[in-house]
Structure 1
Amino acid sequence: MNIHTILFDLDGTLIDTNELIFASFDHTFKQYNLSFTREELAEFNGPPLIETLKKIDPVRAENMIATYREHNHANHDKYVTAFPQVTDTIYQLKSKGIKLGIVSTKMSEAVKMGLALTELDTFFESVITLDDVTQAKPHPEPIWKALEDLQADPATTLMVGDNHHDIEAGQNAHVQTAGVAWSQKGKERLLEYDPTYMLEEMHDLLKIIEV
């Protein structure tokens, strides 16, 4: 069945925030005398920040979030860029009449910063952030809200992401799913969750919608 609606995760899927996230976690943990390897930090990329930090230190989690966000916002524009082919692909999808949405586990302010910096902020008819839901991915609630915004049929909707939370959320919402080969955690890791498609490059979406 043809794809009429595409929902995207933001960080690690459309925009490259990996180094910003590493730097912000590293800065935060140093402030609280904690130490993690780069491999360990990679595992923190994806789930909501509060979820990650409460697992590490439930007592200091709120203070750590404040430290993280202060660093993250102050250094945002120095690190963040769109991944290759993203702007052109999004433009072409929009011109073909595909409904587009963002479904992110980040707070609204940070999502707006990323979209504005990469000049992607005019393309999406629905932007669902952590502020808009009570349960984050992999729960289907964020996708349900986007589908409602866009008046979209789950059967003709595709959820695209770089993290297993994205794939599971899509499956839980009964939409089609696509992993991205440029996932910081690795293509093979995503394939374990059986996405409907695997994008080797962003332009692959243009082939999928023609099927």
Structure 2
Amino acid sequence: MKKYKSIIFDIDGTILNTEKMNLIPLKQLIKEEKNIDMNYEDLLFALALPGKKTLEKLGFEDIESSYNKWVKYVNEYEEGATLFDNIDCVIKDIYSNNILCGIVSSKNKAQYDIDFMPTGLHEYMSAVILEDDTMNHKPHPEPLEKVIEKLKINPEDAIYIGDSLYDYKCAKSCNMDFGLALWGAKNPKDINADINLKNPSDLLKLIID
């Protein structure tokens, strides 16, 4: 199995389980503003997109106002973001083996501060690229191109770990290997990943003999 100098992570569905805290408030917002009862499963696509892009796809008119309301509902949702089992220990192990860790996420800076900063894992990240940092977003290669520029590595020396088809396409468009986080993936059969990872500890096989 190939070894890497850097492991770059998506956040939602990869490090953090944020599915319910994002989709249940979104379902509530759609009912309030559009009077439509959408099935939970039909909203799973939103997990791979920036929030405002999700609202555009759903046909909201006042994107800014609706987005702010959605964020409010998310922040009020009782079941907040939680770490997937053992992912924090794995990231710390990767870091201790002198492997560069990075993040490419569709979260904006405000969401990152609320959801990710409390985990304490930010200090292990050598570069972080969020929605605010690029003109183009996944599946466009720009976010990964920007993170490897910050890390000062070549794409073939890194692997991007994510849970969605957008993550996969972003990696491939950047000529980077992709590892599928099966613990968070909703449609794994649609993704032809270079490596399928059953649980977070499988990541250690990418860096340790």
Alpha-carbon contact 2:162-2:179 (below 8 Å) kept: yes
Q: Which moved more, 1:95-104 or 1:18-27?
A: 18-27
**Aligned twin of 1:14:** 15
Alpha-carbon contact 2:24-2:40 (below 8 Å) kept: no
Q: Which moved more, 1:173-182 or 1:27-36?
A: 27-36
**Aligned twin of 2:39:** 37
**Aligned twin of 1:25:** 26
RMSD: 1.5
Alpha-carbon contact 1:168-1:193 (below 8 Å) kept: no
Alpha-carbon contact 2:161-2:178 (below 8 Å) kept: yes
- TM-score (norm. length: structure 2): 0.93
**Aligned twin of 1:117:** 118
Unaligned residue ranges in structure 2 (runs of 5+): none
Unaligned residue ranges in structure 1 (runs of 5+): none
Question: Post-superposition, which runs of at least 4 consecutive aligned residues in structure 1 deviate over 6 A?
Answer: none
Equivalent of 2:191, from 185, 190, 193? 193
Report the alpha carbon displacement of residue 58 of structure 1 after superposing the two structures with TM.
4.3
- TM-score (norm. length: structure 1): 0.92
Alpha-carbon contact 1:157-1:176 (below 8 Å) kept: yes
Give me the whole-angstrom Cα distance separating, in 2, the residues matched to 1:40 and 1:146. 31
Do residues 147 (structure 1) and 145 (structure 2) align? Answer: no
Report the alpha carbon displacement of residue 34 of structure 1 after superposing the two structures with TM.
2.5
Give me the whole-angstrom Cα distance separating, in 2, the residues matched to 1:157 and 1:169. 13
**Aligned twin of 1:62:** 64
Letter in 1 for 2:138: K
Q: Which moved more, 1:95-104 or 1:21-30?
A: 21-30
Report the alpha carbon displacement of residue 152 of structure 1 after superposing the two structures with TM.
1.4
Report the alpha carbon displacement of residue 27 of structure 1 after superposing the two structures with TM.
2.3
Letter in 2 for 1:165: Y
Q: Which moved more, 1:37-46 or 1:97-106?
A: 37-46
